[in-house]
Structure 1
């Protein structure tokens, strides 16, 4: 997919998709779309679910608004992400939220530290990871979440 980050063999992230990208996703073997955009966001595509499902893609819309960010919502999104058919495309408006969620999923599965997760982001070419425009509270939230839950995931294994 154009302007996408392949986080691993199961998760690819991008900004807002258009119908042609959904068709391309099917051609490339993707099975699911996880949309993190809220219907009230500028540029939200209301017909996306219908288009995705008509192409045979499993579709979920779980809005992730940064002003409403909390642990329960992130856990819900990660649970859904774990359960949907793979490979999956995760998207938001500009691939900031979607790539953060995908990296968070990988961090928990692999037991990565926040520093290792940031290094993985940079390896992918995820330039937003070091942008000053990212709210420091958001960075802290994801760091704290990784510290709390990556240890739990590793200790269960």
Structure 2
């Protein structure tokens, strides 16, 4: 397993980097079946979401793009993301640029599945090595988990 890929559980891992042309071949070789990209089209990235989709197809990976930016966090986005996690073939690798959004979104899903509180989710995320140093994201995560 790539050192920049954190395995959250048997179904979900988080890639803490911006994938390039070779990443999708590596994802497939590591046994992933699906990729979810949380980067927005207007942030700087190694390959565009369109190119990622092509690379995913070439490597027999299912692909979803859900652009998440700090100023556009919404419950609907998290709901969409959770729906994809529950319906895509596993294991799934989720990525953004650094892993912060991916980690937060994955932890929101797990927190809701396990009936955890927002505080418990933040603590578990930190124990797993996810840094939540974006106050807006941390507040959003706690609120979402506490209300679901």
TM-score clears 0.5: yes
How big is the shift at 1:82? 1.6
Name the count of aligned residue pairs.
144
- TM (normalized to structure 1)? 0.86
Moved over 6 A (4+): none
* Whole-angstrom CA distance in 2 between matches of 1:44 and 1:97: 17
User: Structure 1: which 5+ runs fail to align?
Assistant: 150-157
- The structure with the largest alpha-carbon Rg is 1
> Per residue, is there more helix in 1 or in 2?
1
Structure 2: segments with no counterpart, 5+ residues:
none
SS of equivalent to 1:33? strand
Of the structure 1 ranges 42-51 and 82-91, higher mean CA displacement relative to structure 2 is found in 42-51
Residue 44 of structure 1 deviates from its aligned partner by: 5.0
Q: TM-score, normalised by structure 2?
A: 0.90
Contact 1:5–1:99 (CA under 8 A) maintained in structure 2: no
1:139 maps to 2:138: yes
- CA contact under 8 A between 1:11 and 1:89: conserved in structure 2? yes
RMSD of aligned residue pairs (Cα, Å): 1.3
SS in 1 for 2:22: helix
